[in-house]
Amino acid sequence: MVLGVGYGGPSNHILAPGGRDRARAALAEALDQATGQLSPRPTEFRAAHLGMTGINRDTPQARALLDVARELLSAQTIGVSNDAEVALAGALACRPGVVLIAGTGSVAFGRDGTGKDARAGGWGYLFGDEGSAFALGRDGVRAALAARDGTGPPTALVDLLPKAAGMDLQDIPLAFYEGRLGRPHIAALAPAVTLAAAEGDHVARKLVEEAAEALARLATAVIGRLTWPEATMAVATVGGVFRAGPVVLAPLRRALSAQAGGAILVPPRFAPALGAVLLAFQLAGVEFTPTRLALLAATWEMRTAGRGPRDVVFR
């Protein structure tokens, strides 16, 4: 059962200036919160698993994260991986398939029954992140500015985006360039775009359909590099973009059907943080029994109460 949950962050870009200290502080904060709920407080663990964006196995970033973890955790074995791998483990309970992530950024990651994995996307907002919340927010601002200038078709985004951003439309680009708005702020405009699309705005609907097609291409690229004996594969959707519901999921389902006919969209079974727990189970040789998984799900809901967890202690 889940006994404690802790939160900390940010912790990515570990090799950037100050990155190790930032990761150390985030992990220490989350670990202190999680273990502080327990009596007696545990001092040693059988296994731990950490996931972080922008790292892969056997890279300098992964080794740096492992070093930080070893400073703070006493565990018989510690694993590290990309956060997409952790999300896949949670979404499909470590079964073969693909996870399609569309939050602030976007990436697809899959693993087949032979253990081979593949990834597409995840290259950041300058070089990728197609179909992400950031891309939707940015493209929505771009379309609204074009409508305001008279170089693009009219759209309700001209009125919706300033309300969502809390500033005049023409001030949004300058605020971003000057650093007063960051990527999360632009990503936070995505719900205004999906809302406009749901209400029938043609410009917003086109943006959402283009985003869905881009996300489908990521998933299809991963599917095509792996082996699926039954010619079908589960594609789990993870991330804030999918909280918009049918306005995003319907065009995504159509695009996937056209690009990868065997793909079946499924909701994630567990949160990404629980994916790290399941990967730690594997490291410790713990079996995924139905009873254990059900208890994991139930106590997770009880401990998190609707929050967005990033770290967890499990016993």
The region, left, alpha or beta by phi > 0 then psi within -120 to 50, assigned to residue 149 is alpha
Looking at the chain, how many residues does it have? 315
CATH, range 130-207: 3.30.420.40
Least confident of 30-39, 63-72, 189-198: 30-39
Cβ atoms 234, 195 nearer than 8 A: no
| % of the chain beyond a pLDDT of 70 | 97
**How much is the average pLDDT of 11-32?**
86
Of 70, 96, 44, which is closest to residue 262 (Cα–Cα)? 96
What is the three-class DSSP state of 94? coil
State residue 307's pLDDT score: 55
Beta partners for residue 106, in sequence order: 102
For 38-97, write each residue's pLDDT tens digit.
777 777 888 999 888 777 777 888 888 888 888 888 888 998 888 899 999 999 999 999
* Range name among 34-48, 62-76, 105-119, 289-303 with the lowest pLDDT average: 34-48
3-state DSSP assignment of residue 99: strand
Q: What global pTM score does this model have? A: 0.85
**Across the chain, what does the average pLDDT equal?**
89
Spans of all domains in the chain: 2-90+271-314, 97-126+210-266, 130-207
Least confident of 166-170, 199-203, 300-304: 300-304
Domain 2-90+271-314: which CATH number of 2.10.10.90, 3.20.20.220, 3.30.420.40, 3.50.50.60: 3.30.420.40
Domains 2-90+271-314 and 130-207 share a fold: yes
At position 33, the amino acid (one-letter code) is: Q
Taking only Cα atoms into account, the Rg of the chain, rounded to an integer number of angstroms, comes to: 20
Q: Cβ contacts of residue 286 below 8 Å, gap of 6+?
A: 292
* Domain 97-126+210-266 CATH class label: alpha beta
Where do the H-state alpha helices sit in the chain? 19-36, 60-72, 83-91, 124-127, 133-149, 157-165, 171-177, 183-187, 190-198, 202-224, 246-259, 272-284, 290-304
For residue 123, pLDDT beyond 50: yes
Min mean pLDDT across 150-164, 199-213, 231-245, 281-295 is at 281-295
The 3-state secondary structure of 22-40 reads: HHHHHHHHHHHHHHHCCCC
Q: Looking at per-residue confidence, does 173 or 261 come out higher?
A: 173
